[in-house]
Amino acid sequence: MDMQPETAAAPGVRFKMIGSTAVLHIDNPPVNAGSHAVRAGLAEGIARATRQGATAAVLIGAGRCFVAGSDLREFGKPLAPPDLPQVIRLIEEAPFPVVAALHGVALGGGFELALGCDYRLAAPGTQVGLPEVGLGFVPGAGGTQRLPRLAGVARAIELICSAARIPVDVAQEDGLIDRIVTGDLLEGALAFLAEAPQPKRRALDLTPPAEAPERIEAAATRALRRGKGRPNVAEAIRLVRASAGQDAAAALAEERAVFQRLRLAEDAVALRHLFFAERRAATVDGLDMAQARRISRVGVVGGGTMGQGIARAFLAAGLPVVLVERDQASLDRAMAGLAAHLDKAVAKGRLSANEAAGRRAALTGALEERALAGCDLGIEAVFEDMAVKQQVLARMEAALPPQAVLATNTSYLDIDEMGAALTDPQRLLGLHFFSPADVMPLLEVVRAQATSDVALATGLRLARDLGKQPVVARVAEGFVGNRIYAAYRRRAELLVLDGASPEQVDAAATDFGFAMGPFAVADLSGLDIAWAMRKRQAPQRDPQARYVAIPDQLCEAGRLGRKTGAGWYDYPDGAPMPSSEVAAMIGAARQEAGIAPKVPDAATIQRQLLAAIVNEAALLLDEGVAQRPSDVDVALTNGYGFPRWRGGPLHWAAAQQEAAVAADQDALRQAVGHGFCVGPVARVLDQIRTEQKG
């Protein structure tokens, strides 16, 4: 075959002719993000293929994928021409068929590019999808028009609004992929073209397959509900539905206009901030990740709520687990709990019987730490008690190989003190999972005084392998997340003591966008844990500080939350209802404290809850507990139900008027009163604004 040497069409795309087929290699490491250079290179490549009389063209990705998405760094500014719709128009108007050959991932603009080609071939294991809605905007290069023409309107609504990535076999069933190519992808694409004349076949010329209107209606309703009322979800649905109309050009223009507006709007700016913040949170400046140890077997000591969840998380990631409990009865309970969980997942169709059997086989129970001899990571999740943890960790250290990493799942205890009981405290770090540990994405990776770089890098790498979002913290009471949450909850309780009802505070929080309000959360997790902690801390309590005794009284009355059928709320039929008993307790507490209750409006409640979060975040940044402001945003959105579309509390605060933030902090100081620590809020927000400008 006649093959020309490869030349760059423009930086970002390499061009060569193989026979009469033009091959355009998209080459923009590491993930071939669709940058300006790539767009320009594609446009030039198609023009050159036309000039050279090509009879076909193949678009293919160099390296690990086709195109992982458009380059989000360009998204905050005007996009330089040619834009992606222009590139796709050139492909559609080319006098020869264009084949997209996909591998790895083809996402967002990358998948829209593929949808603009005449044929789509893909290697096994490829994933495709349109994640734009998850980033606050809508597909802007024809995704809302071409996808429904191939897969149907209902399915397009589902795929676009869920921002899902789907595997190639599913995409083929949906009509989005023409052929799965095993073996060399480029050769497969050339063979496809050689098999038979492949005519031009533009997705835009198709009409969406006939569908029952109820199916479309149902898909739209589901998507709106899941989309929590965000405006871009409704827009995406409207645009997809327009694909059933005749005027494709007008629909494309409308899509582009909506895209241009939404990509610069608040939601998209916030979600883009989180996109980069999450990647940055997984890094520590100056830390060489190459020293991370490879983990192939994990020991978990303690098989209670957390130990079981942690074991499930490792098993789901394909890592064998040895679970150690203190006695046979506890071990039996833990193993039965894990088995029941697997059975339920199979019954619900979330897991195949085969996969469940595999996980069962990968799990071993034991009664002594000696069983950890073959593990390269040991993590303890025993009772929250320093003496118990020190003893357990010392036994784990003795049992584990000398290279192994040791971790504690403690929520509040001092990891430096735990390390003092070890021969080599450098191996110890905190891996603070959230409950349920196999579901919640956040993982706080705690770097104690002595923690080595190897242990830290291993923890971060492990987070990635588990599909978790890490946030690095230093040792401090409650680390990053729980410490901020405690300040937030305390503010919520003071709001109630001063005049709001729990339901008013919760409603204000959920109106702001929190998944749940603080009192509903307390009822769900149980009031007894914090009660036990308050009792422990009672001797050190500052008698001059304001103290809200209502939660103690709730516990004394047996109202421990949902698990006892009552807490801050009553649960007559499972749903929370305001409780007259609780209202009476609150009234009595106000009277005892001599408070004339004043009911704040929802906006004041919201601003005070946020002020508490922001003040505490500023304090812990000042103390170096969190590495950087954006890590706080990542922790709160991934572990505490803070609305993602607001970008996290510090991103939110940096966008507020400085004077308003200062006034909120002042009101917070007055409400908390004696013992309040003023965080350097203005300085932290200044730092954020400076970074935003740069």
Selected from 317, 388, 507, 602, the binder of ligand NAI by CB under 6 A is 388
In angstroms, the CA 46 to CA 56 distance is 10
Q: What sign has the CA pseudo-torsion 93, 94, 97, 98?
A: negative
Sign of CA dihedral 86, 88, 94, 100: positive
Q: Copy the structure tokens of residue 148.
A: 């429904």
Kindly tell me which residue out of 325, 376, 498, 506 binds ligand NAI, with binding defined by CB under 6 A.
Answer: 325
CB of 369 vs ligand NAI, minimal distance in Å: 8
DSSP state of 208: P
Using rule CB under 6 A, residue 85 touches ligand NAI: no
171 vs 522 by CB, closer to ligand NAI: 522
Query: CA 474 from chain center: how many Å?
Result: 22
Report the nearest approach of ligand NAI to the CB of residue 431 (Å): 10
Report whether 446 contacts 588 (CB < 8 A).
no
CB of 302 to ligand NAI, least distance (A): 3
Q: Which is nearer to ligand NAI, 410 or 606 (CB)?
A: 410
By CB under 6 A, how many residues form the interface with ligand NAI? 24
Residues 6+ apart with CB under 8 A from 461: 289, 292, 293, 295
Stretch that binds ligand NAI, among 427-435, 497-505, 625-633, 672-680 (CB under 6 A): 427-435
CB of 311 to ligand NAI, least distance (A): 11
Min. distance of Cβ 326 from ligand NAI in angstroms? 4
Among 410, 606, 637, 638, binds ligand NAI (CB under 6 A): 410
Rank residues 537 and 657 by Cβ distance to ligand NAI and give the closer one.
537
The answer to whether 645 touches 270, Cβ cutoff 8 Å, is: yes
The SS3 of residue 542 is coil
**Does the protein bind ligand NAI through residue 304 (CB under 6 A)?**
yes
Would you count residue 528 as binding ligand NAI (CB under 6 A)? no
From the list 313-321, 426-434, 565-573, 683-691, the region that binds ligand NAI by CB under 6 A is: 426-434
Residues 434-493 contacting ligand NAI, CB under 6 A: 434-435
382 belongs to the binding site for ligand NAI (CB under 6 A): yes
Strand partners, 364: 322
Stretch of 65-73, 266-274, 396-404, 409-417 lying at the interface with ligand NAI (CB under 6 A) = 409-417
| CB nearer ligand NAI, residue 181 or residue 446 | 446
Nearest to 440 by CA among 468, 411, 409: 468
Residue of 6, 44, 92, 112 marked catalytic: 112
User: Active-site residue 417, yes or no?
Assistant: no
Q: Is 262 exposed, middle or buried (0-12, 13-18, 19+ CB in 10 A)?
A: buried
Cβ atoms 292, 457 nearer than 8 A: yes
Binder to ligand NAI among 130, 324, 500, 618 (CB under 6 A)?
Answer: 324
Contact (Cβ atoms closer than 8 angstroms) between residue 144 and residue 114: no
Question: Shortest distance, CB of residue 333 to ligand NAI, whole angstroms?
Answer: 7
Binding residue for ligand NAI, selected from 41, 139, 303, 459, defined by CB under 6 A: 303
Q: Is 326 in the site for ligand NAI (CB under 6 A)?
A: yes
- Alpha-carbon distance of 271 to 134, in angstroms, equals 8
Tell me if 306 contacts ligand NAI by CB under 6 A: yes
Angstrom distances, CA of residue 562 to CA of 118, 308, 521: 56, 21, 10
Q: Which is nearer to ligand NAI, 276 or 383 (CB)?
A: 383
Residue 372, token pair as written in the block = 């950890």
Q: Of the ranges 78-86, 323-331, 539-547, 582-590, which one interacts with ligand NAI (CB under 6 A)? A: 323-331
Asked whether the CA dihedral 655, 658, 659, 663 is positive or negative, the reply is: positive
Q: Outline where 94-212 has alpha helix (H).
A: 109-115, 143-151, 153-162, 168-173, 185-195
Site for ligand NAI in 243-302 (CB under 6 A): 301-302
Alpha carbon of 582 to those of 558, 579, 588: distances in Å?
Answer: 12, 5, 10
**Peptide linkage before 649 cis (omega within 30 of 0):** no
Active-site residue, from 44, 92, 93, 132? 132
- Active site includes 623? no
- Write out the catalytic residue numbers: 112, 132
Q: Could you list the residues that contact ligand NAI (CB under 6 A)?
A: 301-307, 324-326, 330, 381-384, 388, 392, 409-411, 432-435
